[in-house]
Amino acid sequence: MPRLIALLVLLATAPWIPAKEAAPAAADPALEDRVMALAAELRCLVCQNQTLAESNAPLAEDLRNQVREQMRQGNSDAQIVDYLVARYGDFVLYRPPLKGTTVLLWFGPLLLLAAGFAVLLRRVLRRRSIEPAEMPAADRKRAAELLAPPPGERR
């Protein structure tokens, strides 16, 4: 019973407990906005399906810190992206450019879809061209006997 009373008191007073305001992520909010905008265009090398801005992986945090530091040094977004691409390759870009090494990445899904459609079309057309085999008379008679109702039973 004392636990129930303590729980009720805690639940009743919880809405009046003042919450502290979150500390700013950076001293310069404009810089932080710029970091997050650029991080949204870069892929997390650990998570692979998340941007640097979305990822909580330690490597993503390190890369965001590198981006932030380079921005503090006065580098442009293009210079930072070039640095990261030189270091990690086109994989670090969330939207890699269309070039010889990334053609399969861009058109691979379309090629797989076309191949699947071709296989499906081929199977459908092959089924249409197959004519049903004629059943011999003896088999037809045997099937009719098996499907006929027993004598004395009505349908």
pLDDT in tens, 84-120: 999 988 888 888 888 888 888 789 999 999 999 999 9
Q: Which residue has the higher pLDDT, 13 or 50?
A: 50
pLDDT in tens, 37-75: 999 999 988 887 889 888 888 999 999 999 999 999 999
With a CB cutoff of 8 Å and minimum separation 6, the contacts of 118 are none
Has residue 132 got a pLDDT over 90? no
pLDDT of 94 reads 82
pLDDT of 119 reads 96
What is the value of pTM for the model shown? 0.56
Has residue 6 got a pLDDT over 90? no
pLDDT of 39 reads 92
pLDDT band (50, 70, 90) for residue 15: low
pLDDT of 109 reads 92
Q: Which residue has the higher pLDDT, 113 or 3?
A: 113
pLDDT of 127 reads 80
DSSP string across the chain: -HHHHHHHHHHHHGGGSPPPPPPPSSS-HHHHHHHHHHHTTBB-TTTSSSBTTT---HHHHHHHHHHHHHHHTT--HHHHHHHHHHHH-GGGBSS---SGGGHHHHHHHHHHHHHHHHHHHHHHHHHHHPPPPPPPHHHHHHHHHHHSPPTT---
